[in-house]
Structure 1
Amino acid sequence: MASTADAVGVADAIDVELAEWQNPNLLHTTGNTMTALALVLALGGDDANDVDLLGPLVAIGLVDQVPSDSTVHRRHKELADHDDEADGAGTTAVLTGMKAARTTAWTACGARNPAAASADAPLVIDLNATEILAHSDKENAAPTWKKHFGFHPLAAIIDHGDGWTGEPAAVLLRPGNAGSNTAADHKDVLDQALAATPDHVDGQEWGKRLLIRTDAAGGSQAFLGHLDHQGLGYSVGLPVTWQIGEIASTLGDDIKQGIIRPDGTVSDTTDAYVADITSRMHSWAGEPLGINLEKYPSDMRVIIRVEHPARGAQLRITDIDGRRVQAFVTNRPGHANRLDALHRARGRCEQRIRDLKDCGLGKLPHEAFGMNQAWIHAAVLAMNLISWAGLITAATGKAADQRRSRWWVWEPKTLRARMLSIAAVVVRHARRTILRFDRAAAHREVLEHGLSRLRSIA
């Protein structure tokens, strides 16, 4: 992780963006301190005091000096104050610095650079909210919609597809009582994510080569209009009304398409199906649909998915014929069942958020709201260091083809147990520092290959 941070130059990139207001004589700058904390969180630490875990990195020269826990708190306070004084300028600077580091990491992927996405294979950003519990009365902590107490942040996660890694672009900390479908918050976290996303390799606007996915919480008229105005692709959940259920119950067989299952098989339409009901909704002559399609983007398509619910799940009033009805809207072309498969892949976002909580998001140590937002930036960077190291390693075909060596899909705790805990001895000889890894370690070769890839771009 330290080699990744050094190779992509993330500490310097953040400091460059903060140069106008940061003291140039600081020993531990904001970029340096944030990177050190991110390394600690990637190793499994959950407190600023855990920066002492970086002692071995000082011994081998990857880190000159470890900041103290009070220095970490001081930098977080400075970032929070800068956000308050300059309307989020501190957060913008950190995200822009991460964009520079992410650009370096993605460029190192060569032909597999995610910034070379096309309209047929777009780069996907998932937006999803989560819950963080608080066990004390922190600033803006409040009862959540799950009847717990804490915070309700909204995350933007870049998804690189099945069998590959994902990386958080931004996390917007919100009070515990923040709404799930607040359009303003979705706009804010999307703007932050775009600020942290590298430019397309051709230098042109992303357009529909960037796909924004959310659940029904993002299906508001205001947010969909915002996505349409920016020219982005989207695949967004839509609340189902009884009128949509009525349309689903009257569809002919010619409009139904079998659901593409995870194993690649296609369901029988008599059992489960997807269908594009856009034209049916526009020609609906019954009671009002509950949504005014005239106020939504003109190229928006409405697609439903009808299937038997999972065992034990209760049917809702909008379900029909004993089957669950779900809907989403999109502005992408293509067959309904393929668009449904693309939308359903949004479930990977849940795992990315769990991984992010394992890298520090799950515990907010500060009393002040702004300082906890600064802590979240470090947690995002921790997960990004893991993701960037995986992307760079996965860029070689040999590594990606060998299932046993695809460590970038491991959860952080698995990565720590199998690779980051491999013992090594520091040997100095002929003015060189040599790491001799335990030859009996099961994943030693995987670790050495990753290190060699990182050093090749440094």
Structure 2
Amino acid sequence: MKPITSRPKLSVGTDGRGVVAHAGARLLADLAEATGLEQAFSAALAPSRQRSGAHDPGRVAVDVAVMLADGGEAIADLAVLRDQGELFGPVASPATAWRVLDSIDEQALARLRAARATAREVAWAQHADTRGDFPAAKAAGRQIPGLVLDIDASIVICHSEKEDAAPTWKKTFGYHPMFCFLDNTGEALSAVLRPGRAGSNTAADHISVLDAGLTQIPDHLRHGVPILVRTDTAGCTKAFLAHIRSLRATGCDVRFSVGAPIDADVREAICTLGDDAWFPAIDIDAELRDGAEVAELTGLIDDDRFPDGTRFIVRRERPHPGAQLDLFDTVEGMRHQLIATDTPIGTGPIPWLDARHRAHARVEDRIRTGKDTGFGRFPSRQLNINAAWLELALTAIDLIAWAQVLLLDGALAKAEPKKLRYRLLHTAARITRGQRRVHLRIAEKWPWADDLAAAFAQLATLPRPHIC
């Protein structure tokens, strides 16, 4: 039987000229220059430069970040950029990149973080100039005032011996980094690389990652707009909540919304509630959530772990299949969850405050996609190299977020990195020359050709920072 096919026959050769792949990744490289990130990285790593003729360490660090944003998983993946000099210019070899990462000690890492903060301020100013108001985080169809910081930790499994890697509480082996993401834009503000044995509710680590995240926010916003810090139950420690409260003395309007454990006092308080104390809960679309209700327990719980003015909101709902229930939930026939917040009365109804906290779950998506953008695997046995790699992975996440809020519209402005790579970053194109310029020719029938061309055009209009 003759095979039926509608595909044209191909003759495959390796003599193509002027053809480039991953053309969209050039957008991120140019964005790093437009926001001043590359220049700031160069200044931060200038003391690490070993000889005048070598590659600029700041440029090497940016190229590694672009490679990670583009989906690379190992330093060897720099070959995708390096072998396309017509598109990306001179790119360091993997061996040079290794040396640059190895030269980044704690002092250099601190300078890199300061450089990221400088570039972030420029990117946010560019957004204000070209697109207006800063993106607002939302919950249940309603804007959350100011900035929302989500903190969470996640295990990264290591398959070989690495410095500071250790057995984890999940009986795996690796690291247990903690992250702070900005829910408004998806930017990765800060992270702490911790051993696998590090606890989920370590207050010192929560304080460290929060303070580092706040440092990434420009001063006029850090001291000028409300900031909400969300965590799961791991962040419900006396020291961490007291630290958040103490930040107000510095001029930061920082408040918390954290998951709280349900102990005997909470169960007793729940049992005292009458039917009229419960209100229908809403989901992320502001629709009533079938079988779920919320109630306020403020005034019924006396716990010195929490600062004065803390409110408690309990949620009950029919357990979904596989839900873990304690004896109290089993007897009541409902699953209960508790949140603690110092958001004052009058900010919003308790069903919305509950939905606002449940939106913290978005951080799990940030971490999931972040593991595909660099920190899902660490390349070295050395801790300092892995710490530098983590910082560049955060930079890669930022570049994607800045591209989406500054250069893209519609579905692409909200797409996850995997979709963005498939549709934009991995686009093939042809390089031509004319009128003393290099032209990037995207296939006219590529479905997202106009989006990519428009993004490059928008990039050209961004106001550039003044570099001294």
TM class by shorter-chain length? Answer: 0.7 to 0.9
Q: Are 2:448 and 1:448 aligned?
A: no
- Whether the 8 Å contact between 2:117 and 2:218 is mirrored in structure 1 is yes
The CA deviation at 1:169 is 0.8
What letter matches 2:85 in structure 1?
Answer: V
- In structure 2, the CA distance between the partners of 1:329 and 1:190, relative to structure 1 (3 Å rule), is same
Partner residue in 1 for 2:333: 322
In structure 2, relative to structure 1, the CA distance for the partners of 1:367 and 1:56 (3 Å cut) is: closer
What's the CA shift for 1:20?
5.8
CA distance in 2, matches of 1:448, 1:424: 12
Which one of 111, 121, 126 corresponds to residue 93 of structure 1? 111
Q: Does residue 199 of structure 1 match 2:219?
A: yes
Q: Equivalent of 1:211, from 221, 225, 228?
A: 228
Moved more, 224-233 or 317-326: 317-326
Deviates more, 1:350-359 or 1:257-266: 257-266
Partner SS, residue 346 of structure 1: helix
**How far apart are residue 441 of structure 1 and its match?**
0.7
Q: Over the residues paired in the alignment, what is the CA RMSD in angstroms?
A: 2.2
Q: Does 1:112 align with 2:133?
A: yes
The question of whether the paired residues in 1 share the 8 Å contact of 2:82 and 2:93 is answered with: no
3-state SS of the aligned residue for 2:327?
A: coil
Check if 1:366 corresponds to 2:380.
yes
Higher deviation after alignment, 320-329 or 425-434? 320-329
The aligned residue for residue 10 of structure 2 is none
Structure 2: runs of 5 or more not aligned:
1-27, 249-253
2:342 aligned partner: 331
Map of 1:380 onto structure 2: 394
User: In the aligned structure 1, how far is the partner of 2:306 from the partner of 2:79?
Assistant: 54
Q: Which of 38, 50, 57 is the matching residue for 1:30?
A: 57
Which residue number in structure 2 is paired with residue 68 of structure 1? 93
Q: Normalising by structure 1, what TM-score?
A: 0.86
Q: Distance in 2 between matches of 1:455 and 1:99?
A: 22
2:199 aligned with 1:179: yes
Q: Deviations over 1:160-217 (max 9, x none)?
A: 1xxxx4111112110010011000111111121112222335xx7146x111110000
SS in 1 for 2:277: coil
Alpha carbons of structure 1 residues 315 and 145: separation in structure 2 relative to 1, 3 Å: same
Distance 2:211 2:51 in 1: 29
Which whole-Å deviations, capped at 9, do the CAs of 1:103-158 have from their partners, x for residues lacking one? 111112222225999x9612111110001111111111111111111110001111
CA contact (8 A) 1:92 1:192 kept: no
Q: Is it true that 1:238 corresponds to 2:274 in the alignment?
A: no
Aligned length: 420
- Residue 285 of structure 2 aligns to which amino acid in structure 1? D
SS in structure 2 at match of 1:112: coil
Residues 1:4 and 1:28: Cα distance change in structure 2 (over 3 Å): same
**2:286 counterpart (264, 288, 297):** 264
Q: Secondary structure at the match of 1:109?
A: helix
Is 1:348 paired with 2:348? no
For 1:422-441, what per-residue CA distance to the aligned partner results, in whole angstroms no more than 9, with x for missing partners?
22111110111111101111
Q: Is the 8 Å Cα contact of residues 147 and 227 (structure 2) preserved in structure 1?
A: yes
Match of 2:422 in 1: 417
Identity %: 37
Runs of 4 or more, structure 1, over 4 Å off, are: 18-24, 114-117
- Tell me if structure 2 keeps the 8 A contact 1:240–1:326: yes
Give the alignment partner of residue 152 of structure 2, picking from 115, 128, 140.
128
Query: What is the identity, as a one-letter code, of the residue corresponding to 2:420?
Result: L
2:309 to 296, 299, 311: 299
SS at match of 2:300: helix
Q: Deviations over 1:314-355 (max 9, x none)?
A: 321342511111111111133211111111001110111111
How far apart, CA to CA, are the structure 1 residues paired with 2:135 and 2:224? Answer: 12
Q: SS of the counterpart of 1:156?
A: strand
Does the residue aligned with 1:49 lie in a helix, a strand or coil? Answer: helix
When normalised by structure 2's length, the TM-score is 0.85
Letter of the 1:149 counterpart: F
Bigger mean CA offset, 442-451 vs 383-392? 442-451
Partners of 2:424 and 2:180 in 1: CA distance: 28
Q: Is the 8 A contact 2:48 2:100 kept in 1?
A: no
Aligned to 1:390: 404
Q: Alpha-carbon deviations, 1:282-314, whole Å to 9, x = none?
A: 4xxxxxxxxx33x53112111111111212323
- How far, CA to CA, are the matches of 1:350 and 1:26 in structure 2? 43
2-structure distance, mates of 1:67, 1:200: 37
Describe the SS at the equivalent of 1:100.
Answer: helix
Q: Which runs of 5+ in 1 are unaligned?
A: 84-88, 283-291, 400-404
CA distance in 2, matches of 1:430, 1:267: 62
* Residue type of the alignment partner of 2:299: S
CA contact (8 A) 1:156 1:169 kept: yes
Given the alignment, which residue of 71, 78, 88 partners 1:51? 78
Per the alignment, residue 285 of structure 1 pairs with none
| Contact 1:106/1:115 (<8 A) preserved | no
Amino acid at match of 2:430: V
Q: Distance in 2 between matches of 1:95 and 1:255?
A: 48
